[in-house]
Structure 1
Amino acid sequence: MCGIAGIFHADPTRKVDPQTLVNMAAIQYHRGPDGFGYRTQDDRGVGFSHARLSIIDLDENRGRQPFCMDNGEIMTAVNGELYDYKRIRTDLTSRGVKFRTKSDSEMVMHLYQREGLEDAVKHFRGEFAISLYDRKHDRLILIRDRFGIKPLYFTEANGSFVFGSELKVLFANPDVPRQFSDDGLYHQLMQTMVPGTTAFEDIQQVKPGHMVIVERAHGKLKIRQEKYWDMDFPLASERPPESETDEEYWIEGVRDQLMEAVQLRLEADVPVACYLSGGIDSCITLGLASASQQAPVKAFTIGFDNDDYDETAIAREMAESVGADQDIMTLDANHLYDNFEEALWHAERTIYNTLGVAKLLMSRHVNKAGYKVVVTGEGSDELFGGYPAFRRDMFLHGLDTLPEADRQAWQQMLNESNELVSGAMLAEDEVNDPDFTQMMGFTPSCLQPWLAAADHVPGLLHPKRRERMQDYKPGKAIANALDDDMLEGRHPLDKAQYVWIKTMLEGQILTWGGDRMDMANSMEARPPFLDHHLAEFAAHLPPTMRIKGKTEKYVLRESMKGLLPKVLYEREKFAFMAPPAHTDPVKWAAMKALADRYLSPEKVAEAGLLDPEGVRQVFELHESEDTPAATQVQLDAVINHMIGVQVLHDKFVATDIPALARQKAEEFGWHA
């Protein structure tokens, strides 16, 4: 697990500056503090750099990237983990390939050389961001894992293609401009990003399951993005009748696939721990990890000082049941906003809930305890229908034959099932976006709270930006970025899960709830539920194997029934979130103090992003006695986003990032 960076000039005679590459590695030192490397090919105008977190093959010199073979014919820099690599290495060795390291990353260039791009990528199993230069064909290739667990950004600037694991890596290159785009700012303020975009002008992400291929033609760069994998649910017409499905087949299949996925993610040359909350997902990963290892597994748990959000009691019961060595870190309201700015520096986007800050503090705690790797439970809800929004969509749109009286009863049950997420994970009132409804027959519940929050955004924008965005339709922009071929003809539950996977999973859970907060403290998180073999099996699960009656994640519960304590097996889905600011006077005061710093009229005018009057009106509405609790939750998110865009401006636009990167390179002693 590391950080990568690179430059590919449109003019092959233009040399890449080695120190710029080193600076791009240094700015992401937190992703790879165990060493760095760089390579340039001066006659081809290309160069890569790499900041290393050593987990497999700890030899500092042998595992140093970028890797080259055949005198530079192929050059690679890889971030992440590629599982099942020992089997693949054995197969390649039997075919005459000679490996120089024990690293899983080295197999990328050998597979590419032997199998070609399209066949090689089929072997890549895990979480990864890959850069590869093919000298023979003079092309640069970027490959991102299937769900977007690992980040990978790119831009074209001043005749160069620039890429890196984080935005700050691109900004460390003095050729790359740093400014908010109007639509990027709009989506930062409403939480949900357009897939593949960022807050900043002309900065894009490699989409999950995609490759970016860059070639040169007549002094210009030709850039194209191609999909190699997707979460392909079967057509509803292809699914067998529910009465003909074999429940035990699905239960055993999930059990087998998940056990293999967990066991693969325990492979490391350093100790592997687990994150443990009170949900069944992390409890399952801990249980399977404990069953696979003789020594007790270390389990790290976040506790909150608010009983409505604290899950430590259930997590403790699970840890005791499998003999895990549990470490509980309890956070109070003062911890969270004190570290909000640091969290945004690493998230590089706004966050609606301080869970991201809690994850930052947890990864720091785990790192100090001597661990570099944790197994996590992310992805389970996405595969097995675990969120309240999925239940709502399934029963409102998936059971057309249900009598109206029963539909109303289900609606009431869904609204009451998890009041803690009303206003955040479920909209206070039904939202109907015409573009989504036209594309998929309904507006997915997972996006409704953020489409509702978008109503506040025009009034928050700086007047000039507001004028430019007056006809903008955020729902349409998000819908247009999705592949409607993956939605057409699918069951409503499949549609709802697909939209969540492409928006909330990649843009939220795997960024400021995942990689960015873990790697901020040099921590590698491995989510076995997002193993693509398991995902492909889960895509074919009948809807009622995911949500059966009122029970979400039914097949997962049944497959792990003997592993889970009774209280967990029977427990309804609980959203793992930090308490909203308005629920605690101390936390609200801390949030207001941060707002006073970043949302003052002077700061707002300096950044040119927001309208001071719009900011004032949001606070006025939030503090009104007539404002419902669910609306306050939504406005908590809007306020966090307002503070967030101001912090992002301060850290990424007002700050001289190239100078900061040079300073860090000098501090670490990293020189070309």
Structure 2
Amino acid sequence: MCGITGFWNPHRTNERDLRFTLDGMLDVLDHRGPDDRGSRFYADKGLALGHTRLSIVGLDHGHQPIASKTGDYAVTVNGELYGYKRIRTQLACESLECDGKSDSAISLPLYLKHGLKFVDHLRGEFAIVLYDQKENRLILVRDRFGVKPLYYAVNERGVVWGSEVKSILKHPDVPVKLCPQAAVHQMMQVMVPGSTAFEGVQALQPGHMLIVQMQSGRLETRTQRWWDFTFPTSHESHPDPTEYVQGVQDRLIDAVATRLEADVPVGCYLSGGIDSCSILGLATTLQQSPIKAFTIAFDSDAYDESSIAKRMAERTGAEQELLRLTEKELYGPAFERATWHAERTFYNTLAVAKWHMSRRVRACNYKAVITGEGSDELFGGYPFFKRDWLGREGEGGIFAGAILAEEDLHHDAWQDLCGFTPSWMQPWMLVLDRVKPLWSDSIRDMLQTYDPVAEVAAAIDSEQVRGRHALDVSQYTWSKTMLEGQILTWGGDRMDMANSMEARPAFLDHHLAEYATTIPPEIRIRNGVEKWVLREAMVNVLPRELYEREKFAFMAPPAHTDPVKRNAVQEMIDHWITPERVQAVGLFDYDSITKFIADAWHEQDTTLARRNDIIINHTLQLHMLHGQYVEEMPLPAVD
């Protein structure tokens, strides 16, 4: 697990300048890799590769960049490549040696053997940048689901890349400016796949590679998809569930066993949900010794599930580290730091809670944990998946206003794409409607010709949803947008790596994921029970209470639920949302937004109150991002 960054500018060939620029880009990635730092330059080409290392595999043998003996090839890797010992042995039998004993060392010889198809032979979570001097090309690769981040900026001067946007913004050829269109998307929570909060900076999409080729004295770029989360156009009729239950169990055991391999201790994140409890139960049996489990507890019974997590820890004999969080931890300096690390806004302070948790993990001298992300995407766990197939059930409870809409909405672009408007998109459409009166004149003018809801739909490959079951369509569209843009970024990698800690989501192992797409919908969700096939696969691992429990919302308590939290948010608003900064950012009308916030604290409708909280969080953070990145305000210390 590391940070990677660099640039290729054929017109910058002074090695001293290259070093100075790269050092500044590496400095802001130090949290991703405090154990080692490396760089490699092809000064005559204007190319620089940089790496910061968090040592987890091959502790003393993992320096990067890794170069071939001739120097014609060089690579930097962020992430974990599983099964590397077997692959390294196979390569050695073919006289293709790996330089070093870390997992990353297999990437270069695999490329020399297979060319661009080397990615098909990789298992794990990774972002890779590889330079091929013989072909005069640079290759950026991102893993199948986007667990590991990778961003880039392309302009007439060249290409710049980094594990985090902040490293790209340190390059002198990349101006620092918030993107107005992206700001609209952040307010409605749903980013366009491949976009970021900053103008000119893009995210390499999951399962894609960016190929940069020198042609006739200039750099040409193209993207190429090498993997996708593909559902079949038809499923087995009247399937026997036994086969699928066993298939999930076998593959999940293998995925967890694979992710326990490391040269440092590996712990587990543990909530009160089926996913993390399954991971802990399997990891305990596989390791044949107690696992360290890390749990977040909130000061609100409606949002806290730590009691179930505690019972699971006791059942497995795990040593549980319980972190209790109140408004003192969720707002103020920690909120600001989480925003800086996220590089985008988040609707709920769960991101801040995750930041605190990764900090606690490192304080306990752990560098890696296995997590439960991805299970809902594979097995239909979210309530909006069930709604798209089976219709409405109940009123949504604490989901209402946050991830479920209280009314049915339709949008032409989504109707054309999917045949329906996915339920996961609908609450964010309501948020967007509620924000409309708050925009500045310039944003109102932009929205006359820019439809953010349609833009998200336009980014989805229609061939991957055409002719599919409604559940498949809902799972696919969510996975191509919110899984990568939310759960795996501000809910995952960015908060974990903020404190130099690696998360390993076992459910997103591609062997398990590819199998999950073949499971018929009526086995994923059976008799209205979400993730039925996983429950059955884990029936002897989970406590009966958890096996029978309905999906729970893992969110932090919103500010409106507690006057102390409201006051904590208001303090940040008073500091960040000033007339001068609102004018400088240019997204909102100051009088409108301040009146909205004042009125929001008195909202009695709980659904609208949750929606107001979302809007306040996003608005606050957009001005915070401007202060942190454009104005370059220093980050506060956290006790």
TM-score range, shorter chain: over 0.9
| Residue 327, structure 1, aligned to residue 321, structure 2 | yes
- Note the 1:556-595 alignment, pairs <5 A: 556-595=534-573
- Whether the aligned pair in 2 keeps the contact of 1:374 and 1:524 (CA below 8 Å) is yes
- Whether the aligned pair in 2 keeps the contact of 1:309 and 1:579 (CA below 8 Å) is yes
Aligned to 1:193: 191
Aligned to 1:183: 181
Aligned to 1:453: 431
Aligned to 2:621: 644
Distance 1:576 1:623 in 2: 23
Distance 2:365 2:189 in 1: 34
**Deviations, residues 181-214 of structure 1 (Å, cap 9, x unaligned):** 2211111111110000011111100000000001
Distance 2:510 2:545 in 1: 30
| Residue 126, structure 1, aligned to residue 124, structure 2 | yes
Aligned to 1:8: 8
SS of 2:313 mapped into structure 1: helix
**Deviations, residues 368-426 of structure 1 (Å, cap 9, x unaligned):** 01100000000000000000101100113xxxxxxxxxxxxxx2xx233x401111110
TM-score (norm 2): 0.97
Aligned to 1:521: 499
- Note the 1:292-311 alignment, pairs <5 A: 292-311=286-305
| Residue 437, structure 1, aligned to residue 438, structure 2 | no
- Of the candidates 467, 481, 484, which is equivalent to residue 459 of structure 2? 481
| Residue 17, structure 1, aligned to residue 18, structure 2 | yes
- Whether the aligned pair in 1 keeps the contact of 2:157 and 2:173 (CA below 8 Å) is no
Aligned to 1:401: none
- Note the 1:76-87 alignment, pairs <5 A: 76-87=75-86
SS of 2:211 mapped into structure 1: strand
Q: What letter is aligned with 2:199?
A: E
- Whether the aligned pair in 1 keeps the contact of 2:142 and 2:205 (CA below 8 Å) is yes
- Of the candidates 261, 271, 285, which is equivalent to residue 265 of structure 2? 271
Q: What letter is aligned with 2:575?
A: R
**Deviations, residues 538-569 of structure 1 (Å, cap 9, x unaligned):** 00000011111121000000001011110111
| CA positional deviation for 1:24 | 1.1
Distance 2:254 2:374 in 1: 16
| Residue 415, structure 1, aligned to residue 394, structure 2 | yes
Aligned to 1:117: 116
- Of the candidates 167, 170, 189, which is equivalent to residue 169 of structure 1? 167
Distance 1:35 1:518 in 2: 18
- Whether the aligned pair in 2 keeps the contact of 1:178 and 1:200 (CA below 8 Å) is yes
- Of the candidates 381, 389, 409, which is equivalent to residue 384 of structure 2? 389
**Deviations, residues 280-315 of structure 1 (Å, cap 9, x unaligned):** 100000011000112210000000110111111100
Distance 2:385 2:181 in 1: 28
| CA positional deviation for 1:613 | 2.6
Distance 2:63 2:497 in 1: 19
SS of 2:320 mapped into structure 1: strand
- Whether the aligned pair in 2 keeps the contact of 1:10 and 1:216 (CA below 8 Å) is no
SS of 1:106 mapped into structure 2: helix
- Whether the aligned pair in 2 keeps the contact of 1:334 and 1:586 (CA below 8 Å) is no
SS of 1:6 mapped into structure 2: strand
| CA positional deviation for 1:464 | 2.0
- Whether the aligned pair in 2 keeps the contact of 1:279 and 1:568 (CA below 8 Å) is yes
Distance 2:29 2:394 in 1: 43
| CA positional deviation for 1:157 | 3.8
Aligned to 1:669: none
Aligned to 2:49: 48
| CA positional deviation for 1:316 | 0.8
Aligned to 2:373: 378
Distance 2:45 2:605 in 1: 61
- Whether the aligned pair in 1 keeps the contact of 2:11 and 2:46 (CA below 8 Å) is yes
- Whether the aligned pair in 2 keeps the contact of 1:359 and 1:513 (CA below 8 Å) is yes
SS of 2:588 mapped into structure 1: coil
Aligned to 2:150: 152
Distance 1:14 1:389 in 2: 55
| CA positional deviation for 1:624 | 4.4
**Deviations, residues 92-120 of structure 1 (Å, cap 9, x unaligned):** 111112233111101101000011112x1
Aligned to 1:142: 140
Q: CA RMSD in A?
A: 1.5
**Deviations, residues 583-615 of structure 1 (Å, cap 9, x unaligned):** 011111101111111112232123323211331
| Residue 97, structure 1, aligned to residue 96, structure 2 | yes
SS of 2:21 mapped into structure 1: helix
SS of 1:552 mapped into structure 2: coil
Aligned to 2:33: 32
Distance 2:590 2:200 in 1: 27
| Residue 289, structure 1, aligned to residue 283, structure 2 | yes
- Whether the aligned pair in 2 keeps the contact of 1:333 and 1:584 (CA below 8 Å) is no
Distance 2:406 2:613 in 1: 14
| CA positional deviation for 1:12 | 7.9
How many residues align? The count is 633
Mean Cα displacement is larger for which, 216-225 or 540-549? 216-225
Mean Cα displacement is larger for which, 597-606 or 266-275? 597-606
Distance 1:247 1:470 in 2: 50
Distance 1:240 1:114 in 2: 38
- Whether the aligned pair in 2 keeps the contact of 1:386 and 1:553 (CA below 8 Å) is yes
Aligned to 2:204: 206
Distance 2:337 2:544 in 1: 39
Q: What letter is aligned with 1:154?
A: Y
| CA positional deviation for 1:620 | 4.5
The gaps in structure 2 that reach 5 residues or longer are: none
- Whether the aligned pair in 2 keeps the contact of 1:355 and 1:513 (CA below 8 Å) is yes
